[in-house]
């Protein structure tokens, strides 16, 4: 089934820390949409490249060729790979009022809402999922693939099977573990209400 | 085959499909991933080429010159300070009539240090005798490399070529790209057939000393003729490529909704891509604007620019670099070729330097300024810097 996007381009912003794979996540997600016949572009915002420093990456998706060659200022979705960024970076900046923010955290959406003033919050414990599949280390779990599975559920814009196939094709190592982590996140993400 | 590639991966694929025998390059952000990708192709046995590691960009170009002189296709890539360091040998490559193809990822010149896009690096080499083609998406990056070998290697041309892409906006952005089949590219390009080469069995000297009464001036004149001749060959090769690979490139200037436009924006590179969305949006509001994206800056599209000026009442030239002369380069050259051919206002908008983002919102403001000038017929100021910090006019 081809999921329609509607008339407008979908814009997604990733927040992570250097080394967590935000840029690769933006590319894998683009690949998944591409595999479903969409036009895509994925790009990083290059700041000073340091391990641990906040990193931003973007994915654009459309039903028609994408001519936009500028940064994303008003995303439809924000994906946060590291909960510590919630207080370090203005993750809500420009996020559309009817958009969604998806956060890797052990907290539930209602708990996050206490400190984050936004109606549409989804949360997933991607860190625990990543560790269960032995992705990365206890100190530096690799959560970028798991959270894409959660995005599939929250957005309904791309099928989980396609996301898993894109991961299998693009993950540099442990392809199947990464794909299964996405599936686990798809099943366990908590989508908060208004 | 459709693949997701960054601009730099697209450049590497364009080079791979063109089968250069020697690659000599030195890393520099934002170009590095081009030569990394090529190094991987060679290491994996997917590309049959000699990869020469060198200690500088000057040496990279010198190695390409030497290799090309032996009668093989070569490729290299650089950016900004790397290109500037090549400056001396760029002149040698063109003077020696070696059809080298090089990717240049546009990056700002320091200081202050900036790795982001800005076209000063290539503009500063406009007089180096290289053909220069600017691109707006990753597909065009890949295709332009293949086309450039075909054009440059024609025996009536023999001019090296820079295929130019914007830093990060293309170089590190992933897009869907149609990668042609190797066999089709082989058919299109054919084997490299050098016009002359170094051969121990038939010794010859190249580039010797020439006295003032000798043919130095004639050598330069022949380069000028070749650059003129390139106009015809570019047109032919682009049309042939369009036909064979199902593309739709305009040889020199890609015009978008210019036919009945009150004002046309003239641009280079990715700005032209974003501007098309802005044109559509403004047309919906009844504002008749168009965009003309210049692909070839060398040779400069004189006839096409003059024809464009006949369709509109005003031309606004956007430059993503500044030359400390009468405005920036694209503007100065546009105005120069229109002199005596079109009596319409032309204004220079300098913007996006050092990678400052060029958004649809700021382009719409520029278009509105252009429409005011088209209506009043008077240019308020010839050169305007757009989007300076604290400038209320454009914020």
User: What is the token pair recorded at A24?
Assistant: 């690769």
Domain match, B263 and B241 both? no
Q: Are residues B7 and B111 in the same domain?
A: yes
Q: What is the pLDDT along chain B (395 residues), one digit of tens a residue?
A: 999 999 999 999 999 999 999 999 999 999 999 999 999 999 999 999 999 999 999 999 999 999 999 999 999 999 999 999 999 999 999 999 999 999 999 999 999 999 999 999 999 999 999 999 999 999 999 999 999 999 999 999 999 999 999 999 999 999 999 999 999 999 999 999 999 999 999 998 888 899 999 999 999 999 999 999 999 999 999 999 999 999 999 999 999 999 999 999 999 999 999 999 999 999 999 999 999 999 999 999 999 999 999 999 999 999 999 999 999 999 999 999 999 999 999 999 999 999 999 999 999 999 999 999 999 999 999 999 999 999 988 87
A interface test, pick of B30, B105, B176, B351 with most A CB neighbours within 10 Å: B176
Contact predicate B357/A71, CB 8 Å: yes
How many whole angstroms separate alpha carbon B14 and alpha carbon B141?
A: 8
Q: Work out how many domains chain B is built from and give that number.
A: 2
Backbone angles phi, psi at A22, to 5 degrees: -65, -40
CATH at residue B70: 3.40.50.970
- Domain match, B382 and B356 both: yes
Report the distance separating Cα B141 and Cα B6, nearest Å: 10
| C-beta of residue B12 within 8 angstroms of C-beta of residue B41 | yes
On the question of pLDDT at A2 being above 60, the answer is no
User: What is the CATH number for B360?
Assistant: 3.40.50.920
> Are B167 and B260 found together in one domain?
no
Residues B213 and B291 in one domain: no
State how beta strands B2-6 and A121-124 pair: unpaired
Quote the radius of gyration of chain A (alpha carbons, Å): 15
What pTM value is reported for the model?
0.96
Say yes or no: B37 and B171 in one domain: yes
The answer to whether residue A94 neighbours chain B at the CB level (below 8 Å) is no
How many Å apart are CA B198 and CA B123, to the nearest integer? Answer: 32
Same domain, B338 and B296: yes
A23: number of CA atoms within 13 Å, CB side?
A: 17
Going by pLDDT thresholds of 50, 70 and 90, the confidence category of residue A52 is confident
Average pLDDT, chain B: 97
Task: Provide ipTM, 2 decimals.
Answer: 0.92
The answer to whether A29 contacts chain B (CB < 8 Å) is: no
Is there a contact between A69 and B166 if contact means CB atoms under 8 Å apart?
A: yes
Range of the structural domain that residue B150 is part of: 2-245
Domain shared by B22 and B160, yes or no: yes
Q: Are residues B143 and B116 in the same domain?
A: yes
Is the minimum CB–CB distance between A67 and chain B shorter than 8 Å? yes
B256 at the A interface (CB within 8 A)? no
B365 close to B282: Cβ distance less than 8 angstroms: no
User: Judging by beta carbons within 10 Å of its beta carbon (0-12, 13-18, 19+), is residue B189 exposed, middle or buried?
Assistant: middle
Nearest C-alpha of chain B: how many angstroms from A171?
14
Label residue B87 left, alpha or beta by phi (over 0 means left) and psi (-120 to 50 means alpha).
alpha
Please, are residues B80 and B121 in contact by the beta-carbon 8 Å criterion? yes
**Residue where a domain stops, chosen among B181, B215, B245:** B245
Does B231 lie in the same domain as B156? yes
pLDDT, tens digit, 9 for 90 and up, residues A183-193: 999 999 999 97
DSSP string, B267-295: EETTHHHHHHHHHHHHHHTT--EEEEEE-
pLDDT in tens, A109-157: 999 999 999 999 999 999 999 999 999 999 889 999 999 999 999 999 9
CB < 8 Å to A68, chain B: 273-274, 277, 360
Cα–Cα distance for residue pair B147/B145, rounded to 1 Å: 6
Domain boundary (B245, B269, B287) is at B245
Q: Out of A40, A44, A46, whose CB is closest to B176?
A: A40
Can you tell me the distance from the alpha carbon of B48 to that of A30, in angstroms, rounded to the nearest whole number? 31
Do B279 and B221 lie in one domain? The reply is no
Is the distance from CB of A131 to CB of A138 less than 8 angstroms? yes
What's the CA gap between B370 and B252, in Å, rounded? 23
Tokens, residue B206: 């190249």
Looking at B223, B245, B267, which one is the last position of a domain? Answer: B245
Residues in A closer than 8 angstroms to B360, CB to CB, are 68, 70
Residues B235, B292: one domain? no
Burial class for B346, CB neighbours closer than 10 Å (0-12, 13-18, 19+)? buried
Structure tokens, B379: 């240019």
Strand order in the sheet with B289-294: B253-256, B289-294, B263-268, B315-319, B346-350, B383-385
**8 Å CB contact between B24 and B64:** yes
Of the residues B2, B3, B4, the best mutation for testing chain A's interface (the one with the most A CB atoms within 10 Å of its CB) is B4
């Amino acid at each position: 089934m081809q999921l329609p996007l509607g008339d407008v381009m979908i814009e997604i912003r990733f927040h992570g820390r250097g080394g967590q794979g935000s840029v690769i996540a933006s590319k894998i997600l683009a690949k998944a949409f591409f595999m479903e016949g969409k036009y895509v572009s994925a790009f990083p915002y290059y700041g000073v490249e340091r391990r641990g420093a906040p990193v931003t990456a973007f994915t654009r998706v459309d039903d028609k060729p994408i001519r936009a060659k500028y940064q994303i200022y008003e995303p439809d979705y924000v994906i946060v790979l590291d909960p510590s960024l919630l207080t370090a970076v203005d993750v809500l900046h420009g996020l559309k009022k009817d958009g969604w923010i998806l956060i890797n955290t052990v907290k539930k959406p209602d708990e996050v809402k206490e400190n984050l003033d936004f109606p549409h919050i989804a949360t997933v414990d991607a860190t625990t999922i990543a560790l269960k599949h032995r992705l990365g280390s206890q100190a530096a779990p690799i959560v970028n693939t798991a959270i894409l599975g959660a995005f599939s559920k929250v957005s309904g814009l791309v099928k989980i099977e396609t996301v898993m196939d894109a991961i299998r094709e693009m993950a540099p190592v442990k392809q199947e573990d990464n794909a299964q982590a996405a599936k686990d996140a798809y099943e366990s993400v908590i989508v908060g209400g208004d | 085959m459709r693949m997701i590639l960054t601009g730099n991966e697209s450049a590497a694929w364009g080079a791979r499909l063109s089968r250069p025998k020697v690659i000599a390059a030195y890393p520099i952000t934002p170009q590095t991933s081009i030569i990394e990708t090529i190094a991987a192709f060679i290491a994996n046995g997917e590309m049959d080429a000699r990869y020469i590691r060198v200690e500088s960009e000057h040496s990279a170009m010198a190695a390409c010159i030497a290799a090309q002189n032996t009668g093989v296709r070569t490729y290299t890539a650089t950016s900004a300070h790397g290109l500037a360091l090549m400056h001396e040998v760029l002149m040698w490559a063109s003077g020696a009539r070696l059809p080298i193809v090089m990717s240049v990822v546009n990056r700002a010149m320091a200081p202050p240090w900036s790795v982001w896009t800005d076209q000063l690096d290539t503009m500063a080499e406009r007089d180096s005798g290289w053909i220069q083609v600017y691109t707006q998406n990753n597909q065009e990056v890949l295709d332009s490399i293949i086309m450039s070998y075909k054009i440059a290697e024609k025996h009536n041309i023999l001019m090296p070529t820079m295929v130019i892409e914007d830093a990060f906006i293309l170089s590190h952005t992933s897009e869907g790209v149609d990668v042609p089949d190797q066999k089709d590219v082989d058919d299109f390009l054919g084997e490299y057939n050098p016009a002359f080469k170094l051969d121990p069995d038939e010794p010859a000297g190249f580039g010797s000393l020439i006295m003032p009464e000798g043919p130095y001036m004639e050598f330069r004149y022949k380069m000028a003729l070749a650059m003129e001749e390139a106009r015809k060959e570019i047109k032919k090769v682009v049309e042939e490529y369009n036909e064979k690979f199902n593309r739709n490139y305009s040889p020199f200037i890609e015009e978008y909704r210019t036919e009945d436009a009150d004002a046309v924006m003239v641009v280079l590179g990715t700005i032209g891509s974003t501007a098309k969305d802005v044109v559509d949006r403004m047309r919906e509001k009844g504002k008749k604007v168009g965009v003309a994206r210049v692909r070839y800056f060398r040779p400069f599209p004189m006839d096409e620019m003059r024809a464009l000026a006949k369709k509109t009442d005003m031309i606004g030239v956007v430059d993503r670099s500044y030359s400390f002369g009468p405005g920036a380069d694209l503007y100065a050259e546009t105005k120069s070729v229109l002199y005596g051919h079109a009596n319409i206002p032309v204004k220079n908008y300098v913007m996006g330097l050092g990678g400052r983002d060029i958004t649809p919102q700021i382009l719409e403001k520029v278009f509105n300024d252009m429409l005011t000038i088209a209506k009043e017929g008077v240019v308020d100021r010839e050169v305007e810097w757009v989007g300076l910090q604290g400038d209320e006019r454009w914020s």
